[in-house]
Amino acid sequence: MPNAEVLFLGNAASSEAAVRQLLVKAATTTSSSGDAERRQEVEAKTITVVLAPMLHSKKLMQFDRIVQGQRDLKELLKEVESVGLVPVGKKAPEDGDEEDGDEEDSARLMLSAEKLLRIPTLVTKFTELEDGAFYTVAASSKDVIRQIRQQIGHMLQAGEDQLGEATLAYAQEAEPGTVCSLAPGQRVFMEPDGRPSMEVDAVVIAGADKAYFASHKLRLTGPKPVEDIVEAVEKVKRLSRDARYSHTGYAEFGRFNKLVAVLGAEKVEPTAEVSIRDACRRNSVVFFKRNGRSFSVTSMSMHNVQRGHLGHTRAFGSL
């Protein structure tokens, strides 16, 4: 089978070790059984199972498997952690066969991701298997939902981390000569009795006088998140001087004279951008917006703010 570098749906063999184990078992099964199983009266079908690419790789992995009856098929599905097999293509003719192995035959070895989505067949019975065919694994709805949630979680965490780096770069430029640093251990605040109180997505300490508190959002449709981060900063300022919170994380910010609110968004709806920027200016909120591989912040001089004009944009926290 030629190398196929196509996008592919499936949840099997999520780790390289698991894939290697499957390949070793497949090779053992094929070599130990081989012609001996074919001579048995029990019907045997040889199929090729194609697995999704490993992390950071585009190459598909595959192995041949001799399947004898429903029990063997169930064992195979259990090994690849799949609810069924999805047909991918039919094996092209071998050299010396009467048919010519032209490009069209070779193309049938692997279908594109778009074509795969249009194939409704899910093989769960031995009688449905076609000898010599290629199959991939089918993810269950629970697996798909879990994978989507994991991916969204990774995206959110990556966005929060990058916003923190962008805030740090902004603080270093805004406070020349001042030592600035991220403070990941000070993002979460607790109540005096130990219950969770509040959490922000990033904290940057700028010297002994200023701290930045950042909130990361995937999508902004209005100015409400601006109000939320402003309220969060006001809460830190208020409770940092409250004796009841003297043994909590709030108290650590009582020494700072300036607490700055920061808002970052992956996407801003065009119809809401003006109102969001206006809210940020009124509340002195530093506003970052995704711009390709970095976050951009709009810098405004007091002259421009008084005139109601935006200044130029600067990129921070590039990937």
pLDDT single digits (tens) 295-315: 888 644 333 333 333 344 556
Note whether 116 and 199 are same-domain residues: no
Q: Which residues contact 194 (CB under 8 A, 6 or more apart)?
A: none
Q: Which residues contact 81 (CB under 8 A, 6 or more apart)?
A: 11, 12, 13, 137
Q: What is the pLDDT, as a whole number, of residue 315? A: 62
3-state secondary structure of 106: helix
d(CA 239, CA 236): 5
**Residue reference for tokens 């449709």:** 221
Note whether 227 and 312 are same-domain residues: yes
Q: Which amino acid is at 43?
A: E
Domain membership of residue 4 (yes or no) is: no
Q: What is the pLDDT, as a whole number, of residue 137? A: 81
Note whether 175 and 300 are same-domain residues: yes
d(CA 79, CA 84): 11
| Pairing of the two strands 210-220 and 258-268 | parallel
Domain membership of residue 3 (yes or no) is: no
Q: What is the pLDDT, as a whole number, of residue 253? A: 96
Q: What is the pLDDT, as a whole number, of residue 34? A: 47
d(CA 294, CA 217): 15
Domain membership of residue 46 (yes or no) is: yes
Residue 305 Ramachandran class (φ > 0 left, ψ -120 to 50 alpha, else beta):
alpha
Note whether 161 and 102 are same-domain residues: no
Note whether 128 and 161 are same-domain residues: no
**Residue reference for tokens 């065919």:** 133
Q: Which two tokens stand for residue 84?
A: 């069924």
Q: What is the pLDDT, as a whole number, of residue 119? A: 52
Q: What is the pLDDT, as a whole number, of residue 60? A: 66
Domain membership of residue 9 (yes or no) is: no
Note whether 294 and 168 are same-domain residues: yes
Query: Is the pTM higher than 0.95?
Result: no
Q: What is the pLDDT, as a whole number, of residue 83? A: 83
Domain membership of residue 5 (yes or no) is: no
Rounded to a whole number of angstroms, the distance between the first and last alpha carbons of the chain is 37
Domain that holds residue 242: 151-316
Note whether 165 and 312 are same-domain residues: yes
Note whether 160 and 84 are same-domain residues: no
The domain total for the chain is: 2
Q: What is the pLDDT, as a whole number, of residue 108? A: 44
Note whether 235 and 180 are same-domain residues: yes
Q: What is the pLDDT, as a whole number, of residue 62? A: 79
Note whether 130 and 173 are same-domain residues: no
Q: Is 53 exposed, middle or buried (0-12, 13-18, 19+ CB in 10 A)?
A: middle
Cross-strand pairs, 189:
198
Instruction: Name the domain boundary from 112, 139, 166.
Output: 139
Instruction: Name the domain boundary from 110, 139, 168.
Output: 139
Q: What residues in the chain have per-residue pLDDT under 50?
A: 1-15, 19, 24, 27, 30-41, 55-56, 92-110, 112-113, 116, 299-312, 319
**Please, are residues 163 and 295 in contact by the beta-carbon 8 Å criterion?**
yes
